[in-house]
Structure 1
Amino acid sequence: MCCIKRKLEDLQAGARVDVDERKRHPMDFALWKSSKPGEPSWESPWGPGRPGWHIECSAMAMRHLGETFDIHGGGMDLIFPHHENEIAQSCGATGKEFARYWIHNGFVQINQEKMSKSLGNFFTIREIFEKSEWPEDIAGEMLRYFLLATQYRGPLDFSDHAINEAKQTLNGFYDLFKRLEEKTESATADRDLPGVMKRCRAAFCEAMDDDFNTPVALAELQRMKSDVNKLLSLGLSTEARKISRKEFRSLGNILGLFQFDKWEFVDKPRPGDVVVGLTGVESRIMVGQVSPEIELSKEQIEQQIAERLDAKKKKNFSKADEIRQFLASRGIVIEDKPDGTSRWKR
């Protein structure tokens, strides 16, 4: 078994490192290295020395996982020669298969360059969370969606723009989930829902069985989102809406997505942000600084929406716009429904 699927006769001796004339064959690699002055060493039949890099990993794997185990992971840069040598020495020592599956991930790239400390473009996941304006749980889902949008073997191009795109895509899903919570009497499209869910589940599982092809799996979930949106516009019963949300939650759980009951669509204002505020019974607009601790309650939001609907009925559209702007400044988004009512989210 080998990872690179290359024939021995196609490999060029000396292409990576100079050929050591002491080797019986130029493709041989060191199992034991003689120690240099000051280096850690152990006594051996060949003199004081230490294990080679490749033998270290075989020894650790066998010590903790046994002579044969299921999954061996690592970066794409370790396929050759490191993993090839691990296989050769381990199978040679035991006569058994070493690892059943080899999982090699692509590199994280910043502006088309490999992320590394030497290039000065290195940062940690912790730093991503610390710099994000979103709560940790939401930032975590954004990051997961971004990572899953690329197949694990391919290079991953990281950027703030890509993370924001993941947030916008998740907004679309959670907007649908919020509308699925609304109760309704209509059931015109109920009969079509099972087919939509069955097709998505089959395609999703096929993608995941194809070497964890998460980009295709996400595409199937987006297709189901589009299909359910269409059915929702035609009319889905309250029970069908619950079933649809449960299916999104079930498939999403495999990827660590779509588990929140509440989602933040708009970033909350922070100290020093200039926002629009509503003051007094005259509902005038004023510019000021709003503390993030001052958050409207559900009852206050519902009251503002009721006042806005009343203003629209009286054709007082300027007041209705003022209320919309005020709520927007507090991170509340209003969506007008075809029946004349409104829904809100934050």
Structure 2
Amino acid sequence: MTLRLYDTRAQQLRDFVPLDPENITMYVCGPTVQSGPHIGHVRAALSFDLLRRWLTLRYGRVTFVRNVTDIDDKVLANATDVEPWWALAYRMEQEFTAAYAGVGILPPTYEPRATASIPQMQEIITTLIDRGHAYPAPDGSGDVYFDVRSWPEYGSLTNQSVDAMEAAEDADPRGKRNPQDFALWKGAKADEQADAVWQSPWGAGRPGWHIECSAMSKRYLGAEFDIHGGGLDLRFPHHENELAQSTAAGDGFARYWVHNGLVTVGGQKMSKSLGNFTLARDVLAERDPLVVRYALAAAHYRSSLDLTESSWAEAEAALGRIRSFLERGDRLAPARWQEHKEGLPTPFWDAMNDDLGVPRALAAIHDSIRSGNARLDAGQFDEARQDVSDVRDMTAVLGINPLAREWSDGAGGAQASALDALVQTMITQRAQARADKDWAAADRIRDAIAAAGITLEDSPAGTHWSIDG
């Protein structure tokens, strides 16, 4: 089945036809590192981690770029005399990296910082001026603006007309020809940090936000690439402006625009500006990181996600069912050395190819678990092996196999080991009571284990336990 993705610009599902099937190219807007990540940032990064994993499975090689915006108005505003802007940016970048890694998000192929591509930004700005699509401010401030009315396609990403747009508020409007013109270069200001300045043909200053991504995507992926991703809130003005300045400079730019939905709180977008955010480090400190990953992935990437206590509980229960089935299958129907694997189940394959339909893919996983458990109950071990193999493979694609090394190490693994030691001690005591024909004691131990939500399964190979799902 052909992979189909919803293209924001086309406003419809499109068959994905890469520029080079041997190397898929994808650029995703990363964090502006003025403060630490909230859980919405993690959800966004996870959406593209899942897409990248699927593209890698289908095509083999994916060059994945996720930038770091380390110079920006907000970064400068949050800096202090004790912690300069560049130190704050680096510290916050480390927090984002830790949060991403905490939920199993793979590191990008390249993760460029905006401050490392200033010459490339100036090159694009020069091209835009030469082509008549940008102009230095006549007031001598050093500002350079993109002339939106010089580019007839401006507004095509979000299907807006220039006259209906609000004025761009990213620079002083004094030097603008049109209120909607946006800043490509910002002249140095006396009240800003002296070391946040680079020399340019238009005077000392720093780049505007939008030009940063145009320069970094071109530098690392070329003038045209397959997929541009980011949060739904970045469509305008950020992505609209990226598209305009890059195409006006003569570049093909992104062929597909993919946007993830937002995490909401009571139906309202979670954001730092609204003050209704939950920091990722707090969530990860309170909950199993795999549960967080599952809960964030369970909704379709384009939908809004309103996280509640039930979201975490449902994710934990689902993972419990996966873990119990895989452990049971490994005991009763272990894979044979010569086992033949025929590929991912069709429902899972079709779901992922249909605009990354993770909810349907998760349903396929749990269907295989139900089928496999029924076969294990019936002693159909040869048939059950395929279900076990399918579940292992499907969860590996989504990065949610609870028995995988990355999830069994660390604090979660230590807690599981401690619980296993306690339950095994009780199982041994119960076995001794049964050997002594102290049936009352054996029943008391089993009842105590059951009261804790743990199920015992007796078999010729011994007694095994699992947590009720």
TM-score, normalization: structure 2?
0.52
Paired with 2:202 and 2:271, the residues of 1 have a C-alpha distance of: 38
Secondary structure in 2 matching 1:30: strand
Give the residue type in structure 2 aligned to 1:129. L
Determine whether 1:252 maps to 2:378. no
- CA deviation after TM superposition for structure 1 residue 298, in Å: 3.7
- Residue among 106, 111, 124 paired with 2:279: 124
Q: Identify the residue that residue 103 of structure 2 maps to in structure 1.
A: none
Aligned residues: percent identity? 38
Paired with 1:168 and 1:261, the residues of 2 have a C-alpha distance of: 18
- Residue among 274, 292, 296 paired with 1:147: 296
Relative to structure 1, the CA distance from residue 73 to residue 310 in structure 2 (aligned partners, 3 Å threshold; closer, same or farther) is: farther
Secondary structure in 1 matching 2:302: coil
- Residue among 318, 321, 326 paired with 1:172: 321
Q: Identify the residue that residue 106 of structure 1 maps to in structure 2.
A: 261
Q: Identify the residue that residue 85 of structure 1 maps to in structure 2.
A: 241
Q: Is the 8 A contact 1:107 1:115 kept in 2?
A: yes
- CA deviation after TM superposition for structure 1 residue 111, in Å: 3.5
Q: Identify the residue that residue 385 of structure 2 maps to in structure 1.
A: 242
Give the residue type in structure 1 aligned to 2:285. E
Q: Is the 8 A contact 2:375 2:383 kept in 1?
A: no
TM-score, normalization: structure 1?
0.68
Q: Identify the residue that residue 164 of structure 2 maps to in structure 1.
A: 12
Of stretches 255-264 and 102-111 in structure 1, the one that deviates more from structure 2 is 255-264
Q: How does 1:194-273 map to 2 (within 5 A)?
A: 201-237=345-381, 239-260=382-403
Relative to structure 1, the CA distance from residue 24 to residue 241 in structure 2 (aligned partners, 3 Å threshold; closer, same or farther) is: same
C-alpha distance after superposition, 1:172-201 (max 9, x if no partner): 2222223323448xxxxxxxxx9xx97971
- CA deviation after TM superposition for structure 1 residue 118, in Å: 4.5
Paired with 2:244 and 2:385, the residues of 1 have a C-alpha distance of: 54
The runs of 5 or more residues in structure 1 that have no matched partner are 133-138, 185-193, 271-291
Number of aligned residue pairs: give it. 297
Determine whether 1:307 maps to 2:460. no
Q: Identify the residue that residue 72 of structure 1 maps to in structure 2.
A: 228
Q: Identify the residue that residue 306 of structure 2 maps to in structure 1.
A: 157
Q: Is the 8 A contact 1:176 1:225 kept in 2?
A: yes
- CA deviation after TM superposition for structure 1 residue 90, in Å: 0.8
Paired with 1:252 and 1:181, the residues of 2 have a C-alpha distance of: 15
C-alpha distance after superposition, 1:268-304 (max 9, x if no partner): 9x9xxxxxxxxxxxxxxxxxxxxx7994374752441
Determine whether 1:324 maps to 2:446. yes
Of stretches 108-117 and 205-214 in structure 1, the one that deviates more from structure 2 is 108-117
Paired with 1:297 and 1:7, the residues of 2 have a C-alpha distance of: 60
Secondary structure in 2 matching 1:87: helix
Relative to structure 1, the CA distance from residue 16 to residue 308 in structure 2 (aligned partners, 3 Å threshold; closer, same or farther) is: farther
Secondary structure in 2 matching 1:181: helix
Higher RCO by CA contacts (8 Å cutoff, separation 6 or greater): 2
- CA deviation after TM superposition for structure 1 residue 58, in Å: 1.5
Secondary structure in 1 matching 2:306: strand
Secondary structure in 2 matching 1:334: strand
Q: Is the 8 A contact 2:322 2:402 kept in 1?
A: no
Relative to structure 1, the CA distance from residue 204 to residue 43 in structure 2 (aligned partners, 3 Å threshold; closer, same or farther) is: same
Q: Identify the residue that residue 136 of structure 1 maps to in structure 2.
A: none
C-alpha distance after superposition, 1:146-188 (max 9, x if no partner): 111012222222233311211111112222223323448xxxx
Give the residue type in structure 1 aligned to 2:218. M
Paired with 1:102 and 1:147, the residues of 2 have a C-alpha distance of: 21
